[in-house]
Structures are given as C-alpha cells and as structure tokens.
Structure 1
Amino acid sequence: MRDDFEQAIAEPVRLAALESLDILDTPREAAFDRISELIKLIFDVEIGIVSMIDAHRQWYKSVIGLPNNEVSLDGTFCRYTLQLAQPVIVPDATLDPRFADNPHVTGEPHIRFYAGAPIMTATGQVIGTICAIDKRLRPFGERETAILGHLAAIVMRELELRQEASTDLLTGAGSRRAFKEEAGKFLALATRHRTPLSCIALDVDHFKRVNDTYGHAAGDQVLAGIAQAMRSELRQSDFVGRMGGEEFAVLLPQTELATAAQVAEKLRHVVKGLRFTGSNPPIQVSASFGVAALSPGDDIVSLLNRADQALYEAKRTGRDRVCRAGTPGATEKINPRRVLKAGQIVFDHGRAAFDCTIRALWDNGAEITLSLPTAIPDSFELVVKATAERHHCVLTSRSAGAIEAAFAT
C-alpha cells in the first residue's frame, strides 16, 4: 500500500482526473444501473455499486441493494481499493482485521463479503470503484476477479465516450460536455459585451415512476419527446443540453432573468401538455424549473449551480413550477477557479467538524459539497487539508448537496 506521503502527492492529480470527467453528483442513468444489475446477476450478490470517490466521500453513480447514495470515505471498504489501485477481495469481513469492527459489518447492512475493483483512467488514476457486496459468504476466484475488472473497464470506457460525444444520442440535445463548452463561449461574449445571459435547469418530476411503471423504453420516449418539444419552442440561438438522466439545461443568450422565467413557464406548460402513446391512458409528465441570470464573477459552473439551487427549491416546494435563483451576494467573486480539494468545516468552537470537498475557490469565497449541508451554521471555519490554510466563512447559499461561503474579512 502506498504510504501517506505518496498518497498526498498523488491525490491532486487523481482528483483533477475525476473532475475532468464531470460525472460527480449527476443523476442516475440506465447505462450505469445495468452494470450494477450485472454485478448482482453474475456474482449472485445482494448489492452492486458503481461509485466515484472524491476528496471526502464515496458517491454512488449507481447502487442497487442499498438505500443511501453516498458514504464517508473513512468508513468504506473501497478506500483500500483506491489506495492499492487493484482489486480487493474480502471473503469474510468479520475475520479481516481491517473491517471486523466496521459499523457496516457489525451493524446494518451486516456485510460479510466484499469484492471491489478500481475504475482507472488510461494514465493510471483511480477515480472510483465497482463493488460486489453480500451479507453471506461468497466464492470468488481469479475468474470472478477478472470479470469484475472488465466491468470496471467498461464503466471507464463509458465515461470516456461521454467526454468525446457532443450530442446526446437519445434526445438529440447537446451532451453535458458540449453544453459546458458552448456555454463557456456564450458567457465570455456576454461578459465582454456586458449583455445579459440566463440559464434554465429542469428536471422531469417523478421520472423513476415512468421507468418503473412503463419500462425504460417508454422513459426514453418521454425524454426524447421533451427535448424535441423544447427545441421547437426555443430560438435558434438558445442551446439545450442533457445534463444526465432526466435533467436538462437551457442556455438563453441576450436574455434577462424575468424573460428567462417567462420562457421557463412556457416550457413548463409545453411539457405538461405532452402525451406519449403506447399506454392507456397515454403517459403524461410534469417538470420543475430553476432559472438564474449571469452575475459578476460567475463562471458556467456557478451559473448552473444557482439554476440548480432554484430547481431544488421548485422541487422542494411542490414540483411542476418555476423558481428563480436569488440574487447572489453583493460581493463579486474575485479570481474564481475550479478545484477539487479535500476540506473540513469546523464550528461550535471546534467541537463539530464535517469532511467536505471544495469544488471551487475564489479569492474571497468557496463552493463546497458535503453530505449534510443543512447541518452547517451561518458562520464556520473552512480548512483546506492539502495546505492547512484556514478561512473564517459566512454562508451565502445552500442547496441539496452544496453550499457557498464568503471569506470573512
């Protein structure tokens, strides 16, 4: 196993490789759920997982057999797979000194068997793992280990293909990567010429019910139909992207926030008016919308994040509605830059601490992801683990999985 010093040196490179894939915190998708299903079927286990590992957590892109979507990295079996950069097989966790007292072994889900393989880039960076887990002892030899490794390679290839694609094949919308590339160009023009720019984030309400009730083919029909209907209602200069799963984003150049909200309301009615044949009665869905306008200091990620925060509010307050993002703090973000660093939030005079991942830094603030954003008070201290620098912070915004904070002066 690599020592702590070697890991500290390699970690920024690994995190940069993960960040470049733009996969963290995206919705569940059938392509990865199929891998989890194959893990269960091939190895006859109860739990199949496709996960990504950032600075503080193991986040599940797909999980079948467990209720949660992420766990702290400190308590996972997969941190050993990450550290070793090779498959790890645990025939009986109760007899393995690394895991015998692990709360996932001594308590729910009472893990006995674990097999994990690293998801590795062409340059050898481990960005995640796939796992086969069971409450029973399972036979697992060289053949099974090789199969698990091939499944991990399939996941990596799927991620690479998504990076290369500019169009989402199912819906005809721009891919997530293409959307961000196009948005970056529009944002640069809007900043240079001081023209307005707005973004709409939308998510199909209760989409899992469609797949569960009518099947994935019907779900695909719904997504393709929504994308086509939106394109027919928008201007040629507007850009529609599929951000993953049932989530889309729309970029509106030369558009103020109030006008963008009107466009979102029109799209909401369009989506609700669609009828998809093949069932009796025809399938009908709704969608929730969040709208944000470009503000000083925004890059495309922060603009999308504010639209996502408004989308979260729309879903939290009843769905099938449009919410506008609040005006960001009066303090402009100075020298914003994307990062992916391990951090820790400390408050209550040092008695409470939460591990976190710092997703962006600017000279006067930060964007932070963590498992329990609702637990963070209005003021706290942020520690950047790699450099040990500390910042006194004031909370400026909060969403389902992230917060933004300004550095107190």
Structure 2
Amino acid sequence: MHTAHDREARRLDTLVELDILDTPRELAFDRLTSLCRKMFRVPMSTLTFIDGHRQWFKASDGLDLRETDRRPAPCNVTITLDEPLVVADMLRDARFADNMFVRGAPFVRFYAGAQLKLSGAVIGSLCAIDTRPRDDFGAEATSMLVDLAEIAVDELKLRNLSMQDALTGCSSRRAFRGEGERLTALATRHISPLSCAVLDVDHFKQVNDTYGHAVGDMVLGAVAAAARGALRGSDLIGRLGGEEFGILLPHTKLDQAMGVLEKVRAAVAATRIETPAGTIGVTCSLGGAMLSPGNCFDDMLRNADLAMYGAKQAGRNQALAWVDRAPSIAPTARRVFKAGTISFNAGHSTIDCTVRGLSRDTATIEVLSTSGIPDQFKLAIATDALSRACRITAKADNRIEVAFT
C-alpha cells in the first residue's frame, strides 16, 4: 500500500526525470492551452506542474502568471485524484468556497482539470477555468479535456528527445546535461581538467515586464549569440532555464575558464539589441567551477550556480569563481528534489518549499519568496522523516542556503 508520502516522492522523482520545471515557453504547449480555451469557451487555460512548494505553468492562456503558491491551487487537489476534477461552481464547493483564487483574482468560479499521468505518477494537470459558474461541462467535454491532457503527455515525451533549444539555438537542457556527464566521465578517466559555468541575465524579469515577452525573447537570442561568439570552438553552451545558460569548458582549468567567462561577460555587456521598443542593453552574472576529484557533474554545476548567485549578490555584471576552501567542513550537498516545510513562530507559521540540495550539515531550498522568512527556522522533509533547526547562510532570489544547527 503506497502512502501519501510515497506517492509524493514518486511524483517528484518523475518531475525530475522529465526536467520540465522552469523551462521556457514552447509553442506546442502554448497551442494546447489556446485550443483548450477555444474548445470549451473559457477565458483561462493552464498546463500546470506542481513541485514541493508551487504550481508552475508551462503554458497559460488568459492568465498572466508563471507560478503561484501550491496550497490554494485547485490543481493541488486534482493531482491527488484518479479522475478529472470538474467543479461547476467553486463557491458552492466546501473545498474551495473560501479559496483565495476564488474570492480574489483571478476569481475562479468554474474549474475543470485533467491529470497529466506519466510513469504511473500524476505530475500536473491541464485546466479549463472560467470566472462564472458552468453547469454545461458534461461527460463529453470531460473526455475531450482528458484527450488534450494525453496529447500534452505525448508532447512531453517527444520533448525529451529534442537536442536544441528552439529560441536560442543553444543545446537543450537535457542535451547539455548529457554532454556534461560524458565530459565529466572522460575528465575523471584521463585526469584532465574540466570547468563549467552558469550564466544568468541580470534583471531579466524587468525586461519582460517592461517590454513584453517578444522583446524578452529577442534579448535572450542576442545574449546567446554574444556568448557563443566569445566562447572557444571546444566550449558548449546550453539553455538551462528561462534566462539561465550553462557553459562547458573541456580541458580547461579554473583560472583559464574565468578568463573566458570575462570575455563572455564583456561581450554580453557590449551587445546592443535592436527591438520594436528601441535599443536595449543587458548585462549578465556568471559563476565558474572546476571539477574536483570525487565530484560528479551535478556537484560541479551546483558549485558554478552558487558562484553565480554570489556574483548577483556582489552587484551583478561580473564573473565569480567557486572556491571550495574547506571540503571536510562543508561537504557538497547531493542533488535532491523533495517537498519540505519551513516552520517558525513555534510552529504557527509554515511555508512550503522544495529542497534541491542536501548534505549532513546543509540544505539548498527554493521558495516562492524569501521575504518574511526569519534567519532561523525548522526544516521538515516528510519523506525522510527529517526535522532540523536551521540558520540561513545565504539567499538570493527564491533560493536559500541553510546550515543545520
């Protein structure tokens, strides 16, 4: 008999394998939500995935959001069910009558969600949403919604075969990871140096909010082209997330890698992008790391990511190197993907989180927002039966690094 914790762990494992969260918008999925809106004559449709702390929209039509808190999301109920969830009037359903998304924006009154099922786990849902009650969504409409959800799952499977990011021409995240693991194995076998980097476009949300997503896409394309132009022939760049890129530098020690990354930083900063909104310039922050003995590709990439966050905290538009000064005191956290809960105020205040890194003494946590979280709190991971007191050692954007006390 599978417990709720077992099901949640399996669901998150499937999401990790799929590698879909925080990836850019893709036309195939945008078309599905657009079709869903038209077929069912609703003002909103989303393709939703749920991790440990949030619902994240791979595609959303009629809703200008990318993510929200997990707890009040109707999709959070849908993923616990075996059959589609159809609620004719949310105000007349005790589960949702006082829901913040019903009482407040986007004022959901009708909801229909079909599960996205993959490898025996429910990882999210395809939803049709209306701001008025609907009593005309019968068995046939529900069956059509299920068919669309299955098309979405088929598209997800096809997506994993893609080797190139359509917008920037860089390697896809999956292709980048595959090459990173291959180069790590080679570097380990031949005792040759390997470095990697994480590049993040500074203040990119501001670009999207000010000029719109079409201009944002032009900026990403220009940043990728500038970075490629500054890299060497043997280097590889891949798109890891919305405005985040990974760079692999084979046969390269860290000091050499930082010289290359400085060229990339300067090339991006010097780029002027002609857009319908005028000429735009952006900068980027980079973190570099070298493969250490005994480490795997994920360890190296995580260290580069931490260095990039350090560059952000130091003022952005710079490249910083990861230096592991005391490996025995601060062991590298293993990469995990677990649902967690932050609690404080003697347990009266709780916040959902996703644990992305874990060692004996530390954890890396993602939350919707770091504001309001005190410097010390308790972290619980139900699947590991773990509950530890923590103190924050670093935070940036939606990420927190903690040490167990």
Q: Same fold (TM over 0.5)?
A: yes
C-alpha distance in structure 2 between counterparts of 1:219 and 1:348, whole Å: 41
Residue in 1 that maps onto 2:154: 157
Matched-pair contact (CA < 8 Å) for 1:190–1:197: no
Q: Does 1:354 find its partner at 2:351?
A: yes
Q: Once the two structures are superposed, what CA deviation does each residue of 1:3-54 show, in whole Å capped at 9, x if it has no partner?
A: 9x64333222222111111122334444434433333333332322221112
Query: Structure 1 residues 377, 254: closer, same or farther in 2, change over 3 A?
Result: farther
Query: Structure 1 residues 8, 226: closer, same or farther in 2, change over 3 A?
Result: closer
Q: Does 1:385 find its partner at 2:382?
A: yes
Matched-pair contact (CA < 8 Å) for 1:343–1:358: yes
The DSSP-based 3-state class of the residue aligned with 2:107 is: coil
Q: Once the two structures are superposed, what CA deviation does each residue of 1:102-158 show, in whole Å capped at 9, x if it has no partner?
A: 23223333321111111111x331111122222112332334323322332233233
Q: Does 1:202 find its partner at 2:200?
A: yes
More deviation, 112-121/239-248: 239-248
Residue in 1 that maps onto 2:372: 375
C-alpha distance in structure 2 between counterparts of 1:407 and 1:140, whole Å: 50
Matched-pair contact (CA < 8 Å) for 1:288–1:311: no
Q: Count residues with an aligned counterpart.
A: 401
The DSSP-based 3-state class of the residue aligned with 1:17 is: helix
Which amino acid in 1 is paired with 2:193?
A: T
- Pick one of 279, 284, 289 that aligns with 1:288: 284
> RMSD across aligned C-alpha pairs, in angstroms?
3.6
Query: Structure 1 residues 322, 334: closer, same or farther in 2, change over 3 A?
Result: closer
Per-residue deviation, 1:221: 6.5
Give 1:87-166 correspondences, 5 Å limit.
87-121=84-118, 123-138=119-134, 139-166=136-163
Instruction: Provide TM-score, normalisation by structure 2.
Output: 0.82
Matched-pair contact (CA < 8 Å) for 1:205–1:285: no
Query: Structure 1 residues 212, 132: closer, same or farther in 2, change over 3 A?
Result: farther
Per-residue deviation, 1:359: 2.2
Matched-pair contact (CA < 8 Å) for 1:200–1:251: no
Query: Structure 1 residues 105, 143: closer, same or farther in 2, change over 3 A?
Result: same
Residue in 1 that maps onto 2:38: 41
Which amino acid in 2 is paired with 1:346?
A: S
Matched-pair contact (CA < 8 Å) for 1:309–1:398: no
- Pick one of 12, 17, 22 that aligns with 1:15: 12
Query: Structure 1 residues 304, 134: closer, same or farther in 2, change over 3 A?
Result: farther
Which amino acid in 2 is paired with 1:17?
A: T
C-alpha distance in structure 2 between counterparts of 1:13 and 1:246, whole Å: 29
Which amino acid in 2 is paired with 1:397?
A: A
Query: Structure 1 residues 337, 41: closer, same or farther in 2, change over 3 A?
Result: same
C-alpha distance in structure 1 between counterparts of 2:109 and 2:384, whole Å: 38
More deviation, 383-392/17-26: 383-392
Residue in 1 that maps onto 2:262: 265
Q: Does 1:167 find its partner at 2:164?
A: yes
Matched-pair contact (CA < 8 Å) for 2:308–2:319: yes
Which amino acid in 2 is paired with 1:45?
A: V
Query: Structure 1 residues 83, 255: closer, same or farther in 2, change over 3 A?
Result: same
The DSSP-based 3-state class of the residue aligned with 2:234 is: coil
Matched-pair contact (CA < 8 Å) for 2:394–2:401: yes
The DSSP-based 3-state class of the residue aligned with 1:167 is: coil
C-alpha distance in structure 2 between counterparts of 1:316 and 1:387, whole Å: 32
In the alignment, structure 1 segments of 5+ residues that lack a partner are none
Q: Once the two structures are superposed, what CA deviation does each residue of 1:263-289 show, in whole Å capped at 9, x if it has no partner?
A: 3332244345556779697x6543423
Which amino acid in 2 is paired with 1:249?
A: G
The DSSP-based 3-state class of the residue aligned with 1:83 is: coil
Q: Once the two structures are superposed, what CA deviation does each residue of 1:296-319 show, in whole Å capped at 9, x if it has no partner?
A: 586544544454455567678886
Per-residue deviation, 1:253: 3.1
In the alignment, structure 2 segments of 5+ residues that lack a partner are none
Give 1:302-313 correspondences, 5 Å limit.
302-308=299-305, 311=308
Per-residue deviation, 1:261: 4.1
Query: Structure 1 residues 246, 392: closer, same or farther in 2, change over 3 A?
Result: closer
Q: Once the two structures are superposed, what CA deviation does each residue of 1:141-176 show, in whole Å capped at 9, x if it has no partner?
A: 334323322332233233222322223345432210
Which amino acid in 2 is paired with 1:127?
A: I
Matched-pair contact (CA < 8 Å) for 1:329–1:396: no
Matched-pair contact (CA < 8 Å) for 1:204–1:285: no
The DSSP-based 3-state class of the residue aligned with 1:375 is: coil
Which amino acid in 2 is paired with 1:114?
A: Y
C-alpha distance in structure 2 between counterparts of 1:304 and 1:363, whole Å: 20
Q: Once the two structures are superposed, what CA deviation does each residue of 1:327-361 show, in whole Å capped at 9, x if it has no partner?
A: 56735554743332222223344343322222232
C-alpha distance in structure 1 between counterparts of 2:139 and 2:270, whole Å: 54
Query: Structure 1 residues 257, 400: closer, same or farther in 2, change over 3 A?
Result: farther
- Pick one of 215, 230, 244 that aligns with 1:233: 230
Query: Structure 1 residues 378, 260: closer, same or farther in 2, change over 3 A?
Result: farther
The DSSP-based 3-state class of the residue aligned with 2:79 is: helix
- Pick one of 380, 397, 400 that aligns with 1:400: 397
C-alpha distance in structure 2 between counterparts of 1:203 and 1:384, whole Å: 32
Query: Structure 1 residues 20, 285: closer, same or farther in 2, change over 3 A?
Result: same
The DSSP-based 3-state class of the residue aligned with 1:373 is: coil
Residue in 1 that maps onto 2:75: 78
Matched-pair contact (CA < 8 Å) for 2:110–2:132: yes
